[in-house]
Amino acid sequence: MKNYIIAVIAILCSFLCADIASPDTWTQKDDFGGTAGIARYNAVGFSIGTKGYVGTGWTGSVRGKDFWEYDSALNTWTQKADFGGTGRLAAVGFAIAGKGYVGTGYDGSYTKDFWEYDPGANTWTPKADFGGTARHSAACFVIGSKGYVGTGYDGSSYTKDFWEYDPILNIWTQKANLEFPYWGWGRAYAVGFSIGSKGYVGTGLNQTYYTTFQDFWEYNPATDVWTIKASLPEGSRYDAVGFSIGSRGYIGMGYLVTDSSVFYKDFWEYDPGTDAWTQKTDFGNTARQAAVGFTIAGKGYVGTGWNGSSYTKDFWEYDSGLDMVPDQFTLTDQTDVELSTVITSNTITVAGLGAAAIISITGGEYSTDGGATFTGADGLVNNGNTVIIRQTSSANYSIKTDATLTIGGVSDAFSVTTKAAPADLTPDPFTFTDQTDVDLSTTVTSNTITVTGITSATPISITGGTYSVNNGAYTSTDGLVNNNDTVTVQLNSSNSYSSTTSAVLIIGGVSDTFSVTTLAEDDSNCFIATAAFGSPMAKQVNILRQFRDRYLLTNAFGRRFVSWYYRNGPVAANFIKDKPLAKAAVRIALYPLIGFSFLLIAGYLPFMMGGLLVFSLCLFRPRPGKSSDT
């Protein structure tokens, strides 16, 4: 009976414990790249959401640029688009706000290019080059919405400069150096990670001084200060691997150059609250250097590397056993917000925690459990706490700013985007060139103006004429114009001498007037008659002038004739003015027109025409014939 009870308990435990992960354990996962993956070391890795990404590195024969995605839920690898730069090893990689970033490294030369990976589009985009010298084997970490890269070897020295990358502005800003105390040495092959709002870098190599480090440093971006912390307890080393889970950091493995080279497989946990290290279970496979490591949903992942005899591709999951990683939370982005305004997020509820976890924020402030006090300082939250955050929107239009909240290593960015600039409907001033001495009753077209200074379609209208946009049909109907459209105006000149007509064009409240003035009346315009009769005051000239004004200029045909005469009359007048016989002939030729004009002006022409009609009837009336019997 006793054996039966033991058996039942064992069976129940097997079911109850099957899905409960053991703390501080390593579990082997599918090899890097599955069956198609190639063993390598000095690759680059980072995680986005529930996916990990590994690529580049040295395979023993080539510098890789292939890139792979690891699905932690399915334990599968999928090859993605090759890295956008050259194949290389010893680059750096990190992820911010759903995008991956890879740069620097060694491709046969030292590099400083930097690339952004979009997992949704599976594309690489070049970004601003790293701010320091080209190098390999730098260290990196992420705090909030900024990436930090520094140290490394640039071909001439082991560097100590550190740089901050802003992916929104795509700029690098130099920060405080990380240098070994007293001697100011730089280093390469260090390991880096972040916990909350602080960054951490440790270990590394400076071969110039035959030094391998085991020191450990904390970086505060708020003060731009590095503070030395407790050193890694056992074994200086370089090419180690590191990551953070919740409020703890982890460093392990690596290599030490001594009289007999040492490869490590030990693993250590760092607690920033106590500034203390605790040794954890050794890495699950052979000791090695230059592996990749990252965190997905509270689990650490380590793989690839060089174990002293071969390049590796095995891949392992580390369960720390800590219940300080909450469920993923979501902050709802806001758009079209007012400028320079404090914007508050939606409320999130912390879930999935079994113990207090660190809460931190960059780019804003947070408040817990509905408290009126907001803070930017690190703190602790428990399961069930509510959190809201706030930030001040940009002072400029159409600018996105981020406040990134991190709880136990799980982050989300609260993005606010200011509204677009209001449409500018007021164009730059424009000018039409007025015209003078134009012919009477003529359609006149203005110079062309180009509309500038507006950002949206703007009303256009006209009085006293018509307009055309971009050489289209002329119209007087109100319409719309856009920036860089061209406009011309048309109007009809007056049918009187020395008269001005105007058209006023209005665009978005800005206007200009296009004016045309007809030519002045000039008695000498009766050029031929004046030359023939010797004076512009001659009665014959006056009669012709009245005929012009009263009759020719009152109809379109007559006006066209007068315009033609004004263009050609001066030539004929100049020809006859000193030729008596020619003047006499012209006078004879003009008298019928003068007589006709006089009768028309005096009102006698109708009577004369009636008399001529009666005379013609009388003249042509048939005469009576003779009688036939006469």
Same domain as 83, residue 224: yes
- Looking at residue 381, its pLDDT comes to 87
Residues 6+ apart with CB under 8 A from 123: 81, 117
Last residue of a domain, which of 518, 550, 574?
A: 518
Last residue of a domain, which of 478, 496, 518?
A: 518
User: Distance from CA of residue 293 to its chain's centroid?
Assistant: 34
Same domain as 538, residue 474: no
Same domain as 452, residue 354: no
**Three-class SS string for 219-266?**
EECCCCEEEEECCCCCCCCECCEEEEECCEEEEEEEEECCCCCEEEEE
205 falls within a domain? yes
| Residue 10 pLDDT greater than 50, yes or no | no
Q: What confidence tens digit (pLDDT) does each residue in 200-241 have?
A: 999 999 999 889 999 999 999 999 999 999 999 988 999 999
Same domain as 99, residue 128: yes
303 falls within a domain? no
Same domain as 378, residue 463: no
Query: Looking at this protein, which amino acid is placed at residue 498?
Result: S
Same domain as 592, residue 455: no
CB of 382 within 8 A of CB of 353? yes
CA distance 155 to 191: 20
CATH number, domain containing residue 77:
2.120.10.80
585 falls within a domain? yes
- Looking at residue 395, its pLDDT comes to 93
Same domain as 350, residue 204: no
| Residue 543 pLDDT greater than 70, yes or no | yes
* Residue-range definition of the domain harbouring residue 531: 523-617
219 falls within a domain? yes
Q: What confidence tens digit (pLDDT) does each residue in 493-516 have?
A: 988 878 999 999 999 999 999 999
Lowest mean pLDDT of 21-30, 72-81, 102-111, 531-540, name the range.
531-540
Last residue of a domain, which of 390, 418, 446?
A: 418
268 falls within a domain? no
Q: What confidence tens digit (pLDDT) does each residue in 349-383 have?
A: 999 886 678 899 999 999 998 888 999 988 888 88
| Residue 19 pLDDT greater than 50, yes or no | no
Q: Per the structure, how many domains does the chain have? A: 4
User: Averaged over 138-148, what is the pLDDT?
Assistant: 95
116 falls within a domain? yes
In the chain, how many H helices and how many E strands? Answer: 6, 42
| Residue 29 pLDDT greater than 90, yes or no | yes
User: Averaged over 420-444, what is the pLDDT?
Assistant: 91
Residue 236: what are its φ and ψ, rounded to 5°?
Answer: -65, 150
Q: Count of CB atoms within 10 A of residue 557's CB?
A: 8
Same domain as 192, residue 95: yes
pTM of the model: 0.61
Same domain as 235, residue 152: yes
286 falls within a domain? no
323 falls within a domain? no
Same domain as 510, residue 529: no
How many Cα atoms occupy the beta-carbon half-sphere of 576 within 13 Å? 20
CATH number, domain containing residue 411:
2.60.40
Same domain as 401, residue 548: no
CB of 518 within 8 A of CB of 438? yes
Same domain as 509, residue 403: no
Tokens linked to 233? 């307890």
